[in-house]
Structure 1
Amino acid sequence: MTPATNAAPRRELAAWAVACALGAGLVLLAAGREWAVVRYGDSGGAALGEVALTGGELVAYAGPAALAALAAVVAVLAARGVWRRLIGAVVALCGAAPAIGVAAGLRQDAVLEAAARHSALSAAATATWETAAAWPAATVAGGIVLVAGGIVAVARAARWPGMSQRYERPDGTAARTGGADRARERGRDRERELWDAIDSGADPTADSGGGHAR
């Protein structure tokens, strides 16, 4: 493979790594932002307080999944062969988990249950809640990027170069170099034979076929 043809897989691998890192970073960022607010009031409608809930509190595995995806991206760069495909599948799973979990985390019972863990006001007569749309949507988007990236890694990992290939010779160079080394070695052997013949008193220029015609 020439340097020109080898550059395309390297660029593809680099673009893949950047895209997956951005997807994981987006999920991680969104998990730390406010997704829902639960407001408590008494039976007369007087406000008693409110509880703000982050994405990580509603979808507890969103942040860890994003961190695992980042680690898997680094592992893909270092791995080769079937291991690279397996790690690509892990990237896809790390994206699917938070993307699917958004819907479950924003259900009314899930929101109220999460709020109850953070406040004793859950025993109040009434509770209302509202959710933000942007950060849950960002989590879904980041998860989709990771799922797509994982699928791409499974399908195309065999075409991507490994980290060690940066220091390897292009295909065929080693064979050509080995042939040149053998030719030089044969030349040195002939030179030694020539000097050995001179030392023994033989004429190295004489025709090996039986001498010169007279």
Structure 2
Amino acid sequence: MTAPVAPARTGAARGGTRRGLLAWVAAGVLGAALILLASGRVWAEVAYPPAPGATRSGTVALSGGDLAPVLSPLALACLAAVVAVLATRGLWRRVVGALIALLGAAAAVAAGQGASPSRAVEVAGPGGTLTGLAKTAVSAMPAWPIAAAAGGLALTAAGAVAAARGGRWPAMSERYERRGPRPDGAASGERGERPARSERSERSLWDALDQGVDPTEGEGPDGRQG
């Protein structure tokens, strides 16, 4: 009665491990997507007085990509690393997890630096769009920098989890590996039944011969009993 319990527990453990892996993948993809989304939104607007001869002042809108250009490449690298975690196992999976943690931390730091007003003045000032003009105000929009930083922190946590527990997760190739032969030597399904049936019929023919009975007597042209 206790023998079937072990396979059931093993199957439940494997199911829980796969669900944990799927949850991890969702967290990694969500963190990278959040960074990509935030980097394309406006983080700050720099206002400047009117130029000589002009009557109106103007503003320059700066996106996360303008203030922190590394955000999008870091997010794309994290997405590729998430796929690499699914395709690897063992030590390599732990290495990729550590890489994701480092990339996520770098994205969080870059988001914090890009959210500072001084960074907006620097980008729009000398060498930028507002060359030679005095800035009067910087209007920051903190929601998107916070979202980018949150995505980076989520990737950092996901990478740390993969580095610590990734060795227990199943690899993507395990589902497509060919199963070995069954203990009884027969394949599954009908292919395993046909050899067994032919063996039984051959044995019955020999038994009939031993008893002095002609096994072909009464058979039709197709080999069946008439």
Common fold by TM > 0.5:
yes
Once the two structures are TM-superposed, the CA of residue 115 in structure 1 deviates from its matched residue by 1.3
What runs of 5+ residues in structure 1 fail to find an aligned partner?
A: 183-187, 189-194, 196-214
Q: How many pairs were matched up?
A: 180
Distance 2:66 2:106 in 1: 15
1:104-130 Cα deviation digits (max 9, x unpaired): 2233332112113442x3422443111
Aligned counterparts, 1:170-189, within 5 A:
174=180, 177=182, 179-181=183-185
Once the two structures are TM-superposed, the CA of residue 168 in structure 1 deviates from its matched residue by 4.2
Aligned counterparts, 1:63-74, within 5 A:
63-74=72-83
Higher helix share: 1
Aligned counterparts, 1:116-135, within 5 A:
116=125, 117-119=127-129, 121-135=130-144
Conservation of the 8 A alpha-carbon contact between 2:48 and 2:58? yes
* Identity over aligned pairs, percent: 47
The change in CA–CA distance for 1:4 and 1:103 in structure 2 (over 3 A counts) is: closer
| 2:28 is the counterpart of 1:24 | no
**Runs of at least 4 residues of structure 1 off by over 4 A?**
none
Give the AA of the match of 2:11: P
Distance 1:156 1:125 in 2: 53
What runs of 5+ residues in structure 2 fail to find an aligned partner?
A: 1-6, 187-198, 200-205, 207-226
Aligned-residue CA RMSD (Å): 2.8
TM-score normalised to structure 1 length: 0.75
Once the two structures are TM-superposed, the CA of residue 164 in structure 1 deviates from its matched residue by 1.6
1:169-209 Cα deviation digits (max 9, x unpaired): 78xxx5x83x5339xxxxx9xxxxxx9xxxxxxxxxxxxxx
- SS of the residue corresponding to residue 161 of structure 1 reads coil
Distance 2:16 2:118 in 1: 50
- SS of the residue corresponding to residue 180 of structure 1 reads coil
